[in-house]
Amino acid sequence: MEIQDYLRILQARWKIIAITTVVAVLGALGASLLATPVYQASARLFVSTSAGSSVNEIYQGNLFSQQRVTSYTQLITGETLAQRTIDRLGIDANAAELASQVTATSAPDTVLIDLDVQDASPERARDIANAMSDEFVVMVRELETPEFGGAPAARVVVEQRADTPAAPVSPKTTRNLALGFAVGLLLGIAFAVLRDRLDNTVKDRRTVEEITGTAMIGTVPFDKERLTTQPIDFASGNSVSAESFRELRTNLQFLEVDNPPRVIVVTSSLPGEGKTTTAINLALVLAESGKRVCLVEGDLRKPRVSTYMGIMGSAGLSSVLAGRADLEDVLQDAGHSGMQVLASGPIPPNPSELLGSDTARQVLATLRAEFDYVVVDASPLLPVTDAAVLSAMADGALLVARHGETKKEQLARAT
């Protein structure tokens, strides 16, 4: 995928990214608010040996102290010191649990040990750290004193006692929120890309043109609440929808400047993709330009033009094709200057046969002679062959695909 593809996905799927990010941040905030605050008290210990009388002895003593520091850090986090601290404070605790609350660290090449204790109570953390420091001083003295008496090989002093911590070290709300935002954003982008990869519908011009092998001649915004209830008022409106149909009209007229298509079949892959809405408004916008237009309700299975335009549908195309009416008798005024409508008439039992008859060809030829443009609203292509039959008699077919609804394989089969 190219960078343009990712930018398109981010623009199209921004809601997924936003929702995922918000959920992650709220989750991090909730976890921080529900977490028990943990306080850390710190004491510092100093390790030393008996002072030497020469520079070499002092140097050796310093190395010895540094070596002892490594061992002492392990003793501090052991259960033995934890138990001695429990006994000293008289608290109700388990040695293993208390030992898990303690950490001991030392910087390289130093004789300092930082003893840290974490607890839900700041006072308890302070008391444990100080008591453990005092107990460790005694413990080292016991361990380092020779069996038969004498000075200890090393000793520990409390260089800095623990104070009561003012603020908890956990949870780190700011860090958690930042982490939640970052994780949510990354997950949102991942979900958006995955959703786009799994989405098999058409969503851009390039995809449509690659599948159909022909140029896309127009894009019309779909306003379900408006376009499916009434036609666009081109005479008084300059809405986005109106301008889109005007652009479509211009593109159709300039497909072949010397011989533009005059009989146009409007169809789609499946029902519900906007073919009827497109056919009606295309006919209206052609009539707006001063042309004589006939809108034919060529969907003899589920006709909707009559209802949409508010005209009678009891007699129409099927009546003419069956020899029960003359064409001039069933053409109806659409209420727009220069435009007439040929309704579907009664739904016949054999629509494909009627539409493929010589009579149907003669009807279209007659309409071509009387009008500048003939726009035929046909049945969807995939369920039945009606639209294909009508397209063979027309100058061209306008295939409508709905953004985010028409599947790629459906569009490919329709073309």
How many Å from the N-terminal Cα to the C-terminal Cα in the chain? 26
Q: What is the CATH number of the domain that holds 54?
A: 3.30.70.1130
Is residue 154 located within the same domain as residue 185?
no
Is residue 147 located within the same domain as residue 234?
no
Ranges of beta strands (E only) in 15-94 are: 39-49
Q: What is the pTM of this model?
A: 0.63
Is residue 224 located within the same domain as residue 294?
yes
Is residue 25 located within the same domain as residue 70?
no
Q: Which residue has the tokens 């607890």?
A: 119
pLDDT at residue number 225: 58
The span from the CA of 372 to the CA of 342, in Å, is 15
Q: How many domains does the chain have?
A: 3
CB 315 within 8 A of CB 342: no
Is residue 259 located within the same domain as residue 388?
yes
- Does a structural domain hold residue 336? yes
> How is residue 315 written in tokens?
């007699």
Is residue 365 located within the same domain as residue 267?
yes
- Does a structural domain hold residue 125? yes
pLDDT digits (tens, 9 = 90+) for 257-285: 778 899 999 999 999 888 999 999 999 99
Task: Give the domain range for residue 30.
Answer: 3-35+172-197
Which stretches of the chain drop beneath a pLDDT of 50? 52-58
Q: What is the CATH number of the domain that holds 408?
A: 3.40.50.300
pLDDT at residue number 84: 96
**Containing H/E element for 396?**
strand 396-400
CB 137 within 8 A of CB 158: yes
CB 213 within 8 A of CB 415: yes
Closest CA to 414 of 361, 376, 378, 374: 378
pLDDT at residue number 154: 84
CB 413 within 8 A of CB 269: yes
Closest CA to 173 of 303, 32, 273, 64: 32
The span from the CA of 102 to the CA of 83, in Å, is 13
pLDDT at residue number 353: 93
Q: Which residue has the tokens 């409007």?
A: 266
- Does a structural domain hold residue 165? no
Q: Which residue has the tokens 């453990």?
A: 132
Is residue 78 located within the same domain as residue 132?
yes
Closest CA to 212 of 412, 402, 387: 412
